[in-house]
Amino acid sequence: MTTLPSTSESLAEPVTVPPFAVISGAQVRQALHGREPEIVAVVEETYRLHGAGDSVNPPSYFLRFPDRPSARIIALPASIGGRVRVDGMKWISSFPDNTSTGIPRASAVLILNDHDTGYPFACLESSIISATRTAASAALAADWLTRGRPRPARAGFVGTGLIARYIHTFLGRTGWSFDEIGVHDTNPGSAAGFRGYLEQSGHPGRITVHTGPGSLIRSSDLVVFATVAGQPHITDTSWFGHNPLVLHVSLRDLAPEIVLTAANIVDDVDHCLTAGTSPHLAEQRTGTRDFLLGTLNDVLTGQVTVPTGTPLVFSPFGLGVLDLAVGKYVYDQIARSGQLHVVDDFFHELRRYG
């Protein structure tokens, strides 16, 4: 850690520049593996801090490309207080065509900045962090939104990539089990691969691969959407007549008429009602936000009571503060283990006049 001279002639405490560390995906995975209940608790605490105003979470910035319309890179800057006290940004790309070449769709890095000096002190591989915070948010919502409702025994996954796998893992390791699991993906190979993952995970119940989303939705009490859909493709409101809980993680699957016939919970109202999400399209159609029941934090704090007898949709935009909280958790775990890879002299010009 480099010490800078004080700009004052007084006996003020010296200011220090934090060492800069690079944390690999293997280290991230090691720090998070098997700690699902802890991570869900971290995410819940972060939602509560955000709901109490102890955070800064400006709109995400979408970098899009005229020559690659399906691709995007998103910047999620944020700052969180509480015990975490860290600023930073996730920089995550989504290139769906990658999967046809055998590499993952998403890649990401997370930068953590020191609260007091603003200096970056870590760069972490973040596709795992992003999937983890998404899955932890889904598991937290599934828990709280089913209190007072029959607990789902039949789950269905529409979209069977990395996010679906992480959500299933988090559900299983936070006390969920299902008698039946349905699977659907527009890519039959992906659906078959996810079925294989479920079998290897030890799922004891029946696994059904559906050729279309309708039969899956109608036969599931808990439906997870984890697709790369850019616009709504689910339009039939009758598919939801049995009032399932829908974890609408991919945000753009449901037509406005389905949103408007459901009770809707989001993670952040202003964030979720933007960028062409299904709730955003519903707002544009009606000119109002009255179809929103509230936020997940409203449920956590008892300000909103979850209704029964209606489809219930949780649409999380994905907040940068969650990435920061999970990223700082990873950093602290690795720092305590003494395994930080510090880049010596990363910040070099530290004296104003040489």
| Angle of CA points 280, 286, 291, to nearest 5° | 70
**pLDDT more than 70, % of the chain:** 96
pLDDT tier for residue 353 given thresholds of 50, 70 and 90? confident
| Angle of CA points 171, 175, 178, to nearest 5° | 65
Enclosing H/E stretch for 195:
helix 188-200
The pLDDT of residue 6: 42
Report which of 59, 62, 81 is spatially closest to residue 72, judged by C-alpha positions.
Answer: 62
pTM > 0.85: yes or no: yes
Res. 10: pLDDT tops 60:
no
Calpha distance 349→344 (Å, rounded) = 13
Report which of 274, 273, 166 is spatially closest to residue 224, judged by C-alpha positions.
Answer: 166
Longest Cα separation, the chain: 74
The strand pairing partners of 22, in sequence order, are: 123, 341
The pLDDT of residue 252: 97
Enclosing H/E stretch for 335:
helix 320-337
- Give the chain's domains with CATH numbers: 2-129+320-343 (3.30.1780.10), 134-315 (3.40.50.720)
Q: Which two tokens stand for residue 333?
A: 């775990």
The pLDDT of residue 207: 97
**Mean pLDDT throughout 82-86?**
94
**Mean pLDDT throughout 246-251?**
98
The pLDDT of residue 13: 64
| pLDDT tens sequence across 203-224 | 889 999 999 999 999 999 999 9
| pLDDT tens sequence across 35-78 | 999 999 999 999 999 999 999 999 999 999 999 999 999 999 99
**pLDDT more than 90, % of the chain:** 88
The pLDDT of residue 348: 86
| pLDDT tens sequence across 294-316 | 999 999 999 999 999 999 999 99
Average predicted confidence (pLDDT) for the chain: 94
**Mean pLDDT throughout 226-244?**
96
The pLDDT of residue 148: 87
Using DSSP, state whether 279 is helix, strand or coil. helix
Res. 4: pLDDT tops 80:
no
pLDDT tier for residue 191 given thresholds of 50, 70 and 90? very high
Res. 270: pLDDT tops 60:
yes
Using DSSP, state whether 125 is helix, strand or coil. strand
The pLDDT of residue 1: 53
pLDDT tier for residue 99 given thresholds of 50, 70 and 90? confident
